[in-house]
Amino acid sequence: MKRVIIFFYTFSFCLVFLSCNNASSHNSGILMGGKQFKVNIKDSLLSSPKKSIKELTQSMIKVRSIKNNCYLPLLNDSSLYPNDKRSFFNLEELYNQTLDSMSNYRNRFLVGNFMVLDSNMKNKGITEKNPDLGKLEDFKDYEIKLLTLLNEATDDLNKGDSNLMVYLQDNYSKDKDIIYNFFDKVWRYKTPGLKREYGILNKKAYALGQTICLCELKKDTIELIAEFAVSSKRLTTTHTRDSNDKVKITGYIPNLPIGKYRNYYGAQYTITSKNWETRRKYTELDQLHDTKLGGGNDRVTFFKTGAQLPNFLLMSPTEEFPKAMKQNGIHEVALRGVSRGMLGSSNSIGCVRVSDFASKFLRWWVPNNANFFILYDQNRYYSELRLDSIANLLPFKNEIEGNEFRKWLNENKPLRAIQLQIDLEGKHDNGFILDAYNLYGNDYENAKQ
């Protein structure tokens, strides 16, 4: 009798398991480039992290690439590319081709997913993923206590800073200068990851979804180290020159890299120059770190108007994509009219724009000559929304309600208010206040009650 009962429960469990998977497989056709891409459920179940990358089928790669865009270059899909010469990259092409084969950093590469719509043509939204120091090569030999103190110091820059220094002196006196330099130049600027579904600028709403992924090839998998929101090309400037030959921007003209302009972005670049910024002093410790990662310098890049482009990473297209625009780069949002609050949408004049912390961490993490893959279906690159279609989704109806939240955040989380650039008064629907509310809205509503 006992065996019959065990068999019954085992059989029932199998039926439930299979029925759940059959339910999910009902919608397993995924639209890619106008074609239905069938995901085999058996392959989906087998695509566990334990399976070697070299053994993955295209169905497995597709399943992984949905949650981890680092797999996108391996996906055989011509709709993501600017021409018909290529539809995927092989595994070996992801590695840095200039660093020594024994380097601990040649496995790092970048993937830009510039689509704001998903495979069902719905708004993707953005959810940033900040780095986990415990997963980085640079911190593998340090205790968890150190990593905890580094994170705590970003929440309390005074007390946390002093606690970190004492711990370094007592436990890692030999490496304390190197570790503290990382904290002082990069980690202290860490802000909570952005999370939102739409952006609003000049009374227009836009779908969000564009990101850059920091990826590391491991023995059996590709690990997503971080994922930051970006803004890529939508605009072209109009400008004039004054009597001193200084450029002045007079306006912006829409100019998307789709259709006949799809070749503006190539599918593969290399990071050939890692520049700096005036906000931070470039020291021997920074130079030492750059040397380990294949190069870097203390030069500062400026736009033609004279505006600084902090932490500019020059992205040079490979010979395979000769029509791609040259001299673009990855850098912190720095130009007026191109709001940080619009990160996640196509809203730049060509460069790939990221937040303050993202630009600093990228500059520190990425090796010189690392590969940068830009992939997108041009039909999913850009989407403007009707403002009234998202009005009910806004947390505030007017500036009075928005300013009440601004006041609360400045009084209760002053450091975060500074980092998120939340003034005491301002618009109730821009990207800055939406970011802040997405992060701390629950705390605010609980406080009100």
Give yes or no: residues 257 and 173 share one domain.
no
Residue 94 in any domain: the answer is no
Q: Is the pLDDT of residue 185 over 70?
A: yes
pLDDT digits (tens, 9 = 90+) for 272-301: 999 999 999 999 999 999 999 999 999 999
Nearest 5°: the CA angle 108, 330, 99 is 30
pLDDT digits (tens, 9 = 90+) for 405-442: 999 999 999 988 988 889 999 999 887 888 888 888 88
Mean pLDDT lowest for which of 19-23, 410-414, 444-448? 19-23
The residues near 177 (Cβ < 8 Å, ≥ 6 apart) are 285
**Mean pLDDT score across all residues of the chain:** 86
At residue 8 the predicted structure's pLDDT band, cuts being 50, 70 and 90, is very low
Give yes or no: residues 182 and 255 share one domain.
no
Residue 195 · residue 127 · CB < 8 Å: yes
Number of domains observed in the structure of the chain: 4
Domain of residue 161 covers 135-189
Q: Is the pLDDT of residue 15 over 50?
A: no
Give yes or no: residues 205 and 174 share one domain.
no
Give the pairing type, strands 384-385 and 204-207.
antiparallel
Give yes or no: residues 166 and 226 share one domain.
no
d(CA 54, CA 56): 6
Residue 358 in any domain: the answer is yes
Give yes or no: residues 200 and 312 share one domain.
yes
pLDDT digits (tens, 9 = 90+) for 327-370: 999 999 876 555 677 899 998 999 999 999 999 999 999 999 99
Residue 91 in any domain: the answer is no
Return the structure tokens found at 42. Answer: 């058996």
Residue 117 in any domain: the answer is no
Q: Domain end: 38, 67, 96, which one?
A: 67
d(CA 39, CA 62): 8
DSSP state of 75: S
Give yes or no: residues 359 and 299 share one domain.
yes
Return the structure tokens found at 409. Answer: 């955040």
Q: With the C-alpha atoms ordered 227, 266, 80, 340, is the resulting torsion angle positive or negative?
A: positive
At residue 392 the predicted structure's pLDDT band, cuts being 50, 70 and 90, is confident
Instruction: Enter the pTM of the model.
Output: 0.84
Residue 42 · residue 84 · CB < 8 Å: no
At residue 243 the predicted structure's pLDDT band, cuts being 50, 70 and 90, is confident
d(CA 107, CA 99): 10
Give yes or no: residues 185 and 59 share one domain.
no
d(CA 186, CA 402): 31
H/E stretch holding 196: strand 195-196
d(CA 306, CA 200): 27
Give yes or no: residues 398 and 342 share one domain.
no
d(CA 306, CA 304): 5
d(CA 321, CA 97): 18
Give yes or no: residues 290 and 349 share one domain.
yes
d(CA 107, CA 223): 10
Residue 20 in any domain: the answer is yes
Give yes or no: residues 172 and 232 share one domain.
no
d(CA 268, CA 445): 45
d(CA 366, CA 118): 28
d(CA 443, CA 408): 10
pLDDT digits (tens, 9 = 90+) for 69-113: 999 999 999 999 999 889 999 999 999 999 999 999 999 999 999
Q: What is the DSSP string of 317-371?
A: EPTT-TTSPSS-EEEE--STTS-GGGTTSS-BSSSEEE-HHHHHHHHHHSPTT-E
Q: Is the pLDDT of residue 159 over 50?
A: yes
Residue 88 in any domain: the answer is no
Q: With the C-alpha atoms ordered 194, 136, 190, 354, is the resulting torsion angle positive or negative?
A: negative
Residue 154 · residue 160 · CB < 8 Å: yes
Give yes or no: residues 330 and 436 share one domain.
no
Residue 41 in any domain: the answer is yes
Give yes or no: residues 208 and 151 share one domain.
no
Q: How far is CA 201 from CA 158, 198, 345, 432, in A?
A: 36, 10, 11, 11
DSSP state of 305: T
Residue 155 in any domain: the answer is yes
At residue 39 the predicted structure's pLDDT band, cuts being 50, 70 and 90, is very low
